[in-house]
């Protein structure tokens, strides 16, 4: 929904996705190691409601005198999807069902700049994601996982959007996230010894391609493709969305 404000426009939104996920992990022996030739397939599938995402955007200033639009953004993630620490596992601790959510609360403030240069639009965003840790108290052989604190992330993106006609546009861009290490507290179930560890930091770079088609004044069709540009990034991700405007006002 969208409503008017004294110095700018305010938009709020919510997204509750339905997720189908298929994880495939195949373990194979190193040639010449003497291990058995057979591979071990630890694949898992899962589907269901994902994490709820709430968002708000406020236009801080309009583009005047060669300056861009400035928009403040705030989004939050509520873990309504299947918890990765609660999915069923076999005796070796391998998940037999894929999770549909991250299992943690998160909040992400960001600032977006948009500069119209007809017929193209230049845009850029910088933001920070704060993730909130929690006690999980889950046994995954060979340890008890007591608490997990996901690392925060610093991110930025930039690109260009081009309007082909009144209904169709496409955009090209690059996005990068610097994810700090996740902190985990575990314990040995036999001795009770407590261990604290921090995972390595991740560099997630993605090349972006998107197409938008405006079907009506209240609905549009968005198709986005992300191609991993760093070793830590997902190789390929694609999303098809149909945003709907239910209420407008000035």
Are the C-beta atoms of residues 55 and 77 closer than 8 Å to each other? Answer: no
Query: How does pLDDT run across 49-80, given as a tens digit for each residue?
Result: 999 999 999 999 888 878 899 999 999 999 99
Report the pLDDT value the prediction gives residue 99, as an integer from 0 to 100.
93
What tokens does 171 get?
Answer: 């955009």
As to burial, measured by CB atoms within 10 angstroms (0-12 exposed, 13-18 middle, 19+ buried), residue 26 is exposed
The pTM assigned to this predicted structure is 0.78
Query: Which segments in the chain show pLDDT lower than 50?
Result: 1-7, 37, 250
Report the pLDDT value the prediction gives residue 4, as an integer from 0 to 100.
42
What is the spatial distance between Cα 10 and Cα 170, in angstroms, rounded to a whole number? 25
DSSP character string of 199-241? PPPEEEEEEEEEEEEE-SSSBEEEEEEEEE-STTS-SEEEEEE
């Amino acid at each position: 929904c969208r409503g008017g404000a004294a110095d700018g426009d305010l938009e709020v939104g919510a997204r509750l996705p339905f997720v189908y996920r298929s994880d495939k992990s195949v373990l194979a022996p190193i040639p010449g190691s003497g291990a058995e030739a057979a591979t071990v397939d630890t694949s898992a599938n899962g589907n269901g409601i994902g994490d709820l995402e709430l968002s708000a955007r406020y236009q801080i200033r309009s583009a005047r005198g060669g300056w861009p639009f400035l928009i403040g953004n705030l989004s939050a993630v509520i873990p309504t999807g299947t918890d990765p620490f609660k999915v069923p596992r076999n005796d070796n601790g391998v998940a037999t069902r894929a999770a549909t959510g991250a299992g943690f609360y998160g909040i992400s403030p960001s600032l977006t700049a948009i500069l119209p240069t007809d017929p193209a639009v230049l845009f850029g965003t910088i933001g920070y994601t704060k993730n909130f840790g929690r006690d999980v108290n889950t046994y995954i052989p060979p340890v008890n996982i007591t608490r997990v604190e996901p690392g925060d992330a610093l991110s930025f993106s930039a690109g260009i959007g081009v309007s082909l006609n009144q209904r169709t546009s496409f955009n090209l861009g690059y996005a990068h996230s610097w994810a700090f290490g996740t902190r985990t507290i575990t314990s040995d179930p036999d001795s009770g010894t407590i261990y604290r560890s921090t995972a390595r930091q991740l560099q997630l770079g993605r090349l972006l391609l998107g197409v938008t088609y405006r079907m009506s004044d209240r609905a549009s069709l968005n198709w986005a493709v992300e191609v991993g540009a760093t070793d830590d990034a997902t190789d390929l991700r694609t999303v098809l969305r149909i945003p709907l405007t239910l209420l407008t006002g000035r």
